[in-house]
């Protein structure tokens, strides 16, 4: 008899300090959708892309199974989402399950906070489990998951991205999905063990390409590749969330017994705990970083303004770093995109070739951070106006058609400033090239990003300067007004003790 698989997607990385709202209509992040995509549209938008759910679609086809894709809700990182989004996804999935289902394959983020629940994914899984107590459920999670008991207790198999920038999304879906299908075929018996350490890793220091995560992940990958365990994943955590279950964590899916999984889990996290000081990022004043960049003879030099990164919930219109670049007189710069629909409209009204003076950015206050928006007055020539549409050619979200809203380029003589109506973390050069700017030919490229720029821009960079600008995702974690975070937690509380079990 033909098996019936259900795939669904619910993704939102919630920065609880972000001033950027998250209305339901924003859950159509990919594709021309108003709100979550459903059924045939979800299939059309995600099939063939570098996303876990695309792997689920292919796995179902390879198994000759029927695939139902009831809902894909995907929003850009921002403030806590309305609680209805979890209800909407849970209802759509449960309705599909009720019509008959052999296995459920979920593509989730792992750091969703709603106005009602500090663990959006845990709540979704709890609701599904309540109506389908024995349903085999595979879950693919982002590297920035804050892993919780509710997620693990209500799933069968969990696997996480092993890259940051995230370029193994499809592969993660394959890893989780394959294990679940092997379980359906009675070839394996997945048993999950997990643990979360009281360590708030810094996002600039926790990528799997860097130490100590690299060594931790080497253990996980070796165990999974050798078949010693079914899946092994480490999660860097999403630190910009004022909730109790934030922390560096790992999960191992063992076959049949907890023993092999527990040993590996302990070894991975022991390494992370012993080397926790390597997860700390030292913040440098903005003026010092720009001065250091100015001293380079050759370019492109990437200036990474990571305190206002929309990919982590930033409003993408904090002007402090560009202001400093202009104050120190850097030449041959391209910068952006800055999100400022008002300035885009003003430049479109003026037209290409017009000389304008605009009050750029600074439109959004950041009350959780105690910061007011401060526009930067800039004058220049409007060089280009675009519809903001391009297709990703780089390794992250390859092939996905993006629309970042109408764009305008303001040329000050020293700086070509890309201004967009929408928010977009530049992980692909397309945002610039579609507007006639070739970042590879610039001396300086100022980007509002933290790590995902590496996917598209690192190959063309001679130097990378990390600039700790102000904003809702500041790299100075002592500036966040923490209220609900688990305490003690390292490094905010330097004397934090390990919660690892003592090994005999
Ligand atoms: Zn992530």
Q: Is residue 493 part of a domain?
A: no
CATH classification of the domain holding 85: 3.40.50.2300
Residue 32 has pLDDT above 80, yes or no: no
Tokens matching residue 430: 């397309």
Residue 100 has pLDDT above 80, yes or no: yes
Q: Is residue 347 part of a domain?
A: yes
Q: Give the distance (Å) from ligand 1 centre to CA of residue 266.
A: 24
Residue 29 has pLDDT above 80, yes or no: no
Q: pLDDT, tens digit, for every residue of 367-399? A: 999 999 999 999 999 999 999 999 998 888 778
Q: Tell me which of 229, 262, 279 is where a domain ends.
A: 279
Q: Give the distance (Å) from ligand 1 centre to CA of residue 356.
A: 38
Q: Give the distance (Å) from ligand 1 centre to CA of residue 429.
A: 19
DSSP H helical ranges for 318-397: 320-327, 341-350
Q: Give the distance (Å) from ligand 1 centre to CA of residue 166.
A: 7
Shared domain for 197 and 234, answered yes or no, is yes
Shared domain for 275 and 290, answered yes or no, is no
Residue 222 near residue 214, CB atoms below 8 Å = no
Can you give the residue range of the structural domain that contains 48?
4-279
Query: What 3-state class would DSSP assign to 213?
Result: helix
Residue 470 has pLDDT above 90, yes or no: yes
Among 22-31, 102-111, 128-137, 186-195, the range scoring the smallest mean pLDDT is: 22-31
Shared domain for 151 and 275, answered yes or no, is yes
49 preceded by a cis bond (ω within 30 of 0): no
Residue 19 near residue 365, CB atoms below 8 Å = yes
Q: Is residue 504 part of a domain?
A: no
Around ion ligand 1, residues with a beta carbon closer than 5 Å are 142, 144
Q: pLDDT, tens digit, for every residue of 150-188? A: 999 999 999 999 999 888 999 999 999 999 999 999 999
pLDDT-above-70 percentage for the chain? 99
pLDDT score of 33: 64
Shared domain for 76 and 97, answered yes or no, is yes
Shared domain for 183 and 290, answered yes or no, is no
52-63 vs 169-184: helix crossing angle, rounded to 10: 40
pLDDT-above-90 percentage for the chain? 93
Q: Is residue 495 part of a domain?
A: no
Q: Give the distance (Å) from ligand 1 centre to CA of residue 347.
A: 34
pLDDT score of 399: 82
DSSP 446: E
pLDDT score of 286: 97
CA dist 183 → 69, 103, 434 (Å): 21, 10, 46
Q: Give the distance (Å) from ligand 1 centre to CA of residue 164.
A: 7
Q: Is residue 483 part of a domain?
A: no
Q: Is residue 146 part of a domain?
A: yes
Q: Give the distance (Å) from ligand 1 centre to CA of residue 256.
A: 30
DSSP H helical ranges for 337-424: 341-350
Q: Is residue 494 part of a domain?
A: no
CA proximity to 9, closest of 60, 54, 70, 72: 72
Residue 339 near residue 317, CB atoms below 8 Å = yes
Q: Give the distance (Å) from ligand 1 centre to CA of residue 312.
A: 8
Residue 318 near residue 469, CB atoms below 8 Å = yes
* Sequence-ordered strand ranges (E) for 278-363: 301-305, 333-339, 355-360
Query: Mean pLDDT throughout 16-23?
Result: 95
Q: pLDDT, tens digit, for every residue of 57-89? A: 999 999 999 999 999 999 989 999 999 999 999
Bridge partner residues of 232 (DSSP): 252
Q: Give the distance (Å) from ligand 1 centre to CA of residue 203.
A: 10
Question: Any idea what the Cα angle at residue 48 is, between residues 47 and 54, rounded to 5°?
Answer: 60
Tokens matching residue 388: 């903001």
Give the span between the Cα atoms of 487 and 318, in whole angstroms.
30
Q: Give the distance (Å) from ligand 1 centre to CA of residue 504.
A: 35
Q: Tell me which of 227, 262, 279 is where a domain ends.
A: 279
Residue 30 has pLDDT above 70, yes or no: no
Shared domain for 404 and 369, answered yes or no, is yes
Q: Give the distance (Å) from ligand 1 centre to CA of residue 366.
A: 22
Q: Give the distance (Å) from ligand 1 centre to CA of residue 178.
A: 22
Q: pLDDT, tens digit, for every residue of 136-153? A: 999 999 999 999 999 999
Q: Give the distance (Å) from ligand 1 centre to CA of residue 357.
A: 37
pLDDT score of 31: 56
CA proximity to 482, closest of 158, 104, 17: 17
Instruction: Find the length of the chain.
Output: 504
Query: Terminus-to-terminus CA distance in the chain, angstroms?
Result: 49
463 preceded by a cis bond (ω within 30 of 0): no
Q: Give the distance (Å) from ligand 1 centre to CA of residue 11.
A: 10
Q: Give the distance (Å) from ligand 1 centre to CA of residue 66.
A: 30
Shared domain for 205 and 72, answered yes or no, is yes
Shared domain for 70 and 11, answered yes or no, is yes
Half-sphere exposure of 249 (CA within 13 A, CB side): 29
Give the span between the Cα atoms of 228 and 254, in whole angstroms.
8
pLDDT score of 260: 86
Q: pLDDT, tens digit, for every residue of 348-372? A: 999 999 999 999 999 999 999 999 9
pLDDT classification of 189: cutoffs 50, 70, 90: very high
Average predicted confidence (pLDDT) for the chain: 96
Shared domain for 329 and 225, answered yes or no, is no
CA dist 68 → 53, 74, 221, 264, 334 (Å): 12, 18, 31, 35, 45
- The pairing of strands 71-74 and 37-38 is antiparallel
Shared domain for 345 and 267, answered yes or no, is no
Q: How far is CA 284 from the centre of its chain?
A: 24
Q: Give the distance (Å) from ligand 1 centre to CA of residue 143.
A: 5
Shared domain for 95 and 159, answered yes or no, is yes
Query: Mean pLDDT throughout 432-451?
Result: 96
Q: Tell me which of 264, 279, 294 is where a domain ends.
A: 279
CA proximity to 103, closest of 70, 67, 141, 71: 67
Total domains, the chain: 2
Q: Output the pTM of the full model.
A: 0.92
Q: Give the distance (Å) from ligand 1 centre to CA of residue 323.
A: 29
Q: Is residue 245 part of a domain?
A: yes
Give the span between the Cα atoms of 496 and 491, in whole angstroms.
8
Contacts of 503 (CB under 8 A, 6+ apart): 266
CA proximity to 396, closest of 452, 451, 457: 452
Tokens matching residue 362: 């600074």
Shared domain for 449 and 471, answered yes or no, is yes
Q: DSSP for 39-61?
A: HHHHHHHHTTSSSHHHHHHHHHH
Q: pLDDT, tens digit, for every residue of 298-317? A: 999 999 999 999 999 999 99
């Amino acid at each position: 008899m033909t098996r019936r698989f259900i795939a669904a997607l619910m993704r939102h990385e919630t920065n609880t300090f972000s001033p950027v709202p998250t209305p339901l209509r924003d859950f159509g992040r990919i594709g021309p959708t108003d709100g979550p995509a459903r059924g045939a549209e979800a299939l059309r938008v995600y099939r063939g892309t570098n996303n876990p759910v695309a792997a689920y679609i292919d796995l179902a086809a390879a198994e000759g199974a029927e695939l139902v894709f009831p809902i894909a809700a995907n929003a850009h990182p921002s403030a806590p989402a309305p609680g209805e989004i979890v209800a909407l996804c849970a209802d759509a999935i449960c309705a599909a399950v009720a019509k008959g289902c052999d296995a459920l394959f979920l593509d989730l983020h792992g750091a969703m906070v709603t106005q009602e629940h500090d663990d959006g994914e845990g709540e979704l899984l709890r609701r599904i489990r309540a109506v389908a107590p024995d349903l085999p459920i595979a879950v693919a999670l982002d590297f920035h998951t804050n892993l919780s008991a509710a997620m693990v207790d209500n799933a069968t198999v969990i696997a996480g991205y092993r890259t940051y920038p995230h370029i193994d999304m499809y592969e993660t879906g394959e890893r989780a999905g394959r294990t679940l299908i092997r379980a359906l075929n009675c070839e394996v018996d997945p048993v999950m063990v997990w643990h979360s350490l009281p360590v708030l890793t810094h996002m600039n220091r926790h990528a799997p390409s860097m130490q100590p995560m690299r060594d931790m992940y080497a253990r996980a990958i070796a165990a999974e590749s050798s078949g010693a365990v079914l899946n092994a994943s480490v999660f860097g955590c999403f630190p910009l969330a004022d909730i109790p279950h934030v922390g560096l964590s790992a999960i191992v899916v063992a076959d049949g017994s907890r023993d092999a999984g527990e040993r590996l889990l302990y070894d991975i996290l022991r390494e992370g705990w012993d080397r926790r000081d390597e997860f700390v990022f030292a913040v440098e004043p903005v003026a010092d970083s720009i001065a250091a960049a100015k001293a380079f003879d050759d370019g492109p030099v990437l200036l990474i303004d990571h305190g206002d990164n929309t990919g982590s919930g930033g409003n993408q219109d904090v002007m402090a770093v560009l202001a400093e670049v202009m104050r120190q007189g850097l030449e041959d710069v391209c910068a952006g995109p800055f999100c400022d629909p008002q300035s885009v409209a003003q430049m479109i009204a003026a037209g290409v070739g017009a000389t304008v003076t605009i009050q750029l950015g600074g439109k959004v206050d950041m009350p959780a951070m105690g910061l007011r928006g401060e526009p930067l007055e800039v004058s220049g020539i409007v060089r280009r106006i675009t519809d903001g549409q391009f297709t990703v050619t780089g390794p992250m979200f390859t092939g996905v058609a993006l629309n970042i809203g109408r764009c305008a380029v303001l040329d000050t003589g020293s700086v070509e400033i890309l201004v967009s109506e929408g928010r977009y973390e530049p992980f692909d050069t397309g945002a610039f090239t579609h507007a006639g700017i070739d970042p590879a030919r610039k001396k300086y490229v100022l980007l509002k990003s933290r790590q995902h720029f590496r996917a598209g821009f690192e190959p063309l960079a001679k130097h990378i300067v990390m600039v700790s600008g102000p904003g809702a995702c500041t790299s100075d974690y002592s500036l966040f007004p923490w209220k609900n975070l688990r305490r003690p937690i390292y490094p905010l509380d330097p004397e934090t003790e390990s919660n690892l079990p003592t090994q005999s």
